[in-house]
């Protein structure tokens, strides 16, 4: 089934942009960025700038109950303070719901999706969706006060091994897997640099890219930063962000030095601006070290 004109225009725009190089950093505004997020932002920015790519800031604010007031402003301020300046206007997913909705309707009409009534409990312990609702006629409407989720039919022999990916959640929210793929297509993203915790999302995203006939970007992962107890940092731990360092009197050169030293890019105790780090790494051929 042919893609309708207005959706074809998104694809055409993506194709045009894809002739250049584009990276992006896409935090969810669930709190202030912690040092692990900032380290990922730094690597993403360095990777883009070393490649002469643009670097976009996208705010993944679709899951509104998890958004925290003031988080977007704090994210922007922290990136600016570190000297990680993005190109163009900030992209807010909450303003792009119309686009995601149009893609969902088209995918549904073309038979690429099926409604699924499985509860989280039913699927517990199954790493890949077992196809329970794939071939039944589960209906669109309310049943037992619940709407279905909508899953993409992924061929069982699919090399991504993602199973049938949820594109619209049962609570009505557009799933992250769909929104992120539509955005990466529309903005012609060629390189995604993100935290290691998102590696598990890659297979599902590759399946969505394949369903839309699109070549996925290159994915790179930055190791997660842990606290002294060896646990992964969370945005809810306010103590893990820039604020305590700023209160202790550290300037951005000291913090960039600390983040870069943690990545093994500069010796401990280095002080340098993001721009100086970029110049140093460009000189040393940093882009070759990101696989």
Binding site for ligand GLU (CB under 6 A): 26-28, 60, 180, 194, 198
- Rounded to a whole number of angstroms, the minimum distance from the CB of residue 219 to ligand GLU is 9
- Helix axes of 97-109 and 176-186: crossing angle, nearest 10 degrees: 100
Q: How far is the CB of 270 from ligand GLU (least distance, A)?
A: 27
Among 75, 34, 24, 30, CA closest to 255: 34
Length of the chain equals 291
Q: In the complex, what is the shortest distance from the CB of residue 92 to ligand GLU, in angstroms, rounded to a whole number?
A: 12
* Closer CB to ligand GLU, 231 or 251, in the complex: 231
- Which of 118/242 has CB closer to ligand GLU? 242
Cβ of residue 269: shortest distance to ligand GLU, in angstroms?
30
**CA torsion through residues 72, 68, 91, 40, sign:** positive
Backbone angles phi, psi at 123, to 5 degrees: -95, 0
The per-residue DSSP string of 179-247 comes to HHHHHHHHTT--EEEEEGGGGGGHHHHHHHHHHTT----EEEEEPPPB-TTSPBP-TT-GGGBSHHHHH
Nearer to ligand GLU, 119 or 234 (CB): 234
The first and second tokens of residue 43, run together, are: 């690597």
Q: Measured between alpha carbons, how far apart are the two ends of the chain, in Å?
A: 37
User: Toward ligand GLU, which CB reaches closer, 30 or 246?
Assistant: 30
Reading the block at residue 270, the tokens are: 């280095």
Closer residue to ligand GLU (CB): 26 or 104: 26
- Which positions ≥6 away from 244 have C-beta within 8 Å? none
User: Sheet of 54-59: strands edge to edge?
Assistant: 91-92, 54-59, 22-25, 191-195, 218-222
Question: Of 179 and 266, which has the nearer Cβ to ligand GLU?
Answer: 179
Nearer Cβ to ligand GLU (56/265): 56
């Amino acid at each position: 089934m042919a893609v309708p004109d207005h959706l074809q225009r998104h694809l055409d725009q993506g194709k045009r942009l894809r002739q250049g190089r584009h990276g992006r950093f896409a935090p969810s505004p669930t709190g202030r960025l912690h040092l692990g997020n900032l380290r990922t932002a730094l690597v993403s920015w360095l990777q883009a700038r070393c490649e002469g790519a643009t670097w976009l800031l996208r705010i993944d604010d679709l899951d509104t109950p998890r958004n925290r007031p003031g988080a977007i402003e704090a994210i922007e301020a922290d990136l600016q303070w570190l000297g990680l300046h993005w190109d163009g206007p900030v992209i807010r997913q909450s303003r792009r719901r119309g686009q995601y909705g149009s893609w969902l309707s088209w995918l549904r009409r073309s038979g690429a999706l099926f409604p699924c009534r499985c509860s989280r409990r039913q699927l517990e312990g199954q790493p890949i969706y077992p196809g329970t609702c794939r071939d039944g006629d589960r209906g669109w409407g309310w049943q037992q006060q619940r709407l279905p989720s909508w899953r993409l039919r992924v061929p069982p022999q699919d090399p991504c091994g993602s199973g049938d990916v949820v594109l619209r959640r049962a609570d009505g929210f557009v799933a992250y897997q769909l929104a992120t793929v539509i955005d990466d297509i529309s903005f012609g993203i060629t390189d995604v640099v993100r935290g290691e915790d998102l590696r598990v999302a890659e297979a599902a995203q590759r399946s969505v890219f394949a369903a839309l006939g699109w070549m996925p970007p290159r994915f790179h992962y930055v190791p997660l930063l842990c606290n002294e107890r060896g646990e992964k940092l969370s945005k809810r731990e306010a103590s893990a962000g820039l604020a305590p360092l700023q209160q202790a009197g550290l300037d951005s050169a000291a913090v960039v030095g600390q983040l870069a030293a943690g990545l093994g890019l500069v010796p401990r105790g280095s002080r340098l601006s993001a721009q100086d780090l970029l110049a140093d790494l460009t000189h040393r051929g940093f882009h070759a070290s990101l696989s």
